[in-house]
Structure 1
Amino acid sequence: MNNTAILAGRTGLSLIFILSGLSKISGFAATQGYMHSMGVPGALLPLVIALEVGGGLAVLAGLFTRWAALGLAVFSVASGLLFHLDLGDANQFNNLFKNVAMAGGFLLLAAQGAGDYSLDRLRQTRTSIGHANA
């Protein structure tokens, strides 16, 4: 049950970032304009896309999960503070705390690890077998 829950959690946490990153590619100019309007250099957009898609895929696959989860946790809080800090607006308030909640999920994943259904576990198993045969 635990490994299945971890896989389901990784899937849920990762999909929002994968889909968001891919949508930024198709709406590149509009996203850059929005970033600029919020005081964030639009030149950072390729890095944002790489983090969202790459980090999301890493978490989904369970590859370098602890590091990817930490990176996405920091990104979630930073983007929440940069883009959703208007606490007088109920929608922005909710979006900020959704980001905080996602960061919490990523921190739990970083602490727990990817579980058995992951490339991290496969890598660990192969490394253990390699050392046993040496």
Structure 2
Amino acid sequence: MVYLNELQLKSFEVRKCIARHCRLCDSPSIWIESQSEIRDPQNGASGSTVEDRVIPRRNRTRVKARVLACIRHRGFQEEIAVCEDLSKGGLSFRSRNQYAEGSRVEVAVPFTPGAGAIFVPIRIVFSQSIPTAGLYRHGAAYIKPPLDI
């Protein structure tokens, strides 16, 4: 249980989540209201499938980095998300929203609320549900600007 101040509470009521720093590891994370887990008796325990053990599609080294990012998608509110790793060609992040594979969004990373942010275009490469957390893990590639001839 966590006690929120008035500003944090208003933010939580609007966004249904809040960005906080972990006191143990000092890394940012997105906190959501806890929900009871419902198990499907027909499915039982879930095992690892071949799709879960896919060979990595990356050709660049990624750096593990737990930093805040701001995601901007046309027609939706800006969202604060947590990056899991970064590379020269892209990033992965956890989000409350599911973005379709192939969709174009903009990201500002690292992001500090209240400070100026520079957004760059990215394309969602994969989207994976994290049911236990009520979140989605996304992998995205930076979109290079067209070369002027």
TM-score by length of 2: 0.20
The structure with higher relative contact order (CA 8 Å, sep 6+) is 1
Q: What's the TM-score, normalizing by structure 1? A: 0.22
Give the structure with the higher percent helix.
1
